Amino acid sequence: MKQIKAFIHPHRINLVTEALRNSGYCDISNGTRCYNLTVSTVQRLFTSADPLQQRYSLDLAEPVVAESKLELICEDDLADQIVALIADAGKPGPGWVFTTDIQSAVKID
């Protein structure tokens, strides 16, 4: 199994989740081959090329840019297709997609 994490512009995340849903790769309702799709809002440190996207975080005492972090677990043979789909749907805009191997997983029933 693989874990995929993507950091995407907040205005593009809905297009990415819609593309995943429509692709058939991630049928979240039946939990097969693609698991635990989550999206959270995160703050990226350092400044953006566009100052309108920045804000100053009092908690961090730093300028930050809001991003959406998408995470999911998938079967090995789906990882390349899902990464390509996320990268395509997340355009245009800066972002990253990371893939890591999961060495062990235990399902809690």
Radius of gyration of the chain, Cα coordinates, nearest whole angstrom: 15
Which range of 20-24, 63-67, 97-101 scores highest in mean pLDDT? It is: 97-101
Q: CA torsion, points 73, 101, 4, 91, in degrees to nearest 10?
A: -140
Instruction: Residue 4: count other Cβ atoms within 10 Å of its Cβ.
Output: 20
* pTM attached to this predicted model: 0.81
Asked if residue 32 has pLDDT above 70, the reply is no
Among 44, 52, 41, 49, which residue's Cα sits nearest to residue 14?
41
Residue pointed to by tokens 């959406």:
68
Residue 65, C-beta contacts closer than 8 angstroms, at least 6 positions apart:
43, 44, 46, 47, 48, 53, 54, 55
Please state, for a pLDDT cut of 70, what percent of the chain lies above it: 89
Domains and CATH numbers, the chain: 2-41+69-101 (3.30.70.120)
- CA–centroid distance for 73 within its chain: 11
